[in-house]
């Protein structure tokens, strides 16, 4: 099986699933950054996240996926989004990382090295942790969302529409 051809959803958005979580995997290649942005943009649209909140999330996803592709030796990158009423958590997991982990480059003068500085600047919090059994690393951040970013949700309404009839 060609693992590079996969774009696997990790979580199903079926009516029984938590509609405010979404995950997917992409090959660890440069073109996957734009695919990740497009995929996250579609999810944010379904969730009603617009304007500056949307642009900030897309920027952060671009930076984290780029870091996972450029600075690690894995074949896949996974991304998990989890939305609550006032924030969105983005987690990007790679399959391999250097021993020092991600670092913010505060003195970067060139075009490279400022991605995590940017993530730090727009996030409420961010960090990283090693994968289970030492397989890769996850980098996460929590982004604030405006209180009016989502339409009022009534029981049985939401991104997937009306509830199932009883």
pLDDT tens digits, one per residue of 145-160: 986 555 544 333 344 3
- pLDDT for 163 equals 33
DSSP code per residue over 68-123: HHHS---SEEEEEEEE-SSEEEEEEEES---TT-----TT--SSSS-HHHHHHHH-
Residues in the chain: 166
- Number of C-beta neighbours around residue 112 at 10 A: 10
CB 5 within 8 A of CB 54: no
The reported pTM is 0.72
The pLDDT of 27-44, averaged and rounded, is 96
The pLDDT of 47-57, averaged and rounded, is 95
- Number of C-beta neighbours around residue 57 at 10 A: 24
| Residue predicted with more confidence, 116 or 37 | 37
CB 108 within 8 A of CB 117: yes
pLDDT tens digits, one per residue of 67-110: 999 888 789 999 999 999 899 999 999 987 555 555 444 555 54
- Rg for the chain, CA atoms, rounded: 17
Q: Which of 15, 37, 14 is nearest to 24 (CA)?
A: 37
pLDDT tens digits, one per residue of 96-145: 755 555 544 455 554 555 788 899 999 999 998 887 766 788 999 999 99
């Amino acid at each position: 099986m060609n693992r590079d051809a996969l774009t696997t959803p990790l979580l199903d958005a079926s009516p029984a699933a938590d509609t405010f979580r979404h995950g997917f995997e992409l090959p660890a290649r440069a073109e996957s950054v734009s695919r990740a942005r497009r995929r996250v943009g579609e999810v944010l649209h379904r969730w009603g996240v617009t304007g500056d909140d949307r642009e900030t999330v897309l920027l952060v996803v671009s930076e984290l996926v780029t870091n996972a592709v450029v600075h690690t030796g894995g074949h896949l990158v996974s991304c998990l989004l989890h939305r609550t009423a006032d924030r969105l958590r983005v987690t990007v997991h790679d399959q391999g990382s250097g021993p020092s982990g991600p670092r913010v480059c505060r003195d970067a003068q060139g075009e490279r090295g400022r991605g995590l500085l940017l993530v730090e600047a727009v996030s409420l919090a961010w960090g990283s942790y090693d994968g289970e059994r030492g397989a890769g690393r996850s980098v996460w951040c929590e982004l604030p969302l405006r209180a009016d970013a989502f339409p009022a949700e009534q029981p049985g309404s939401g991104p997937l529409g009306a509830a199932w009839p009883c």
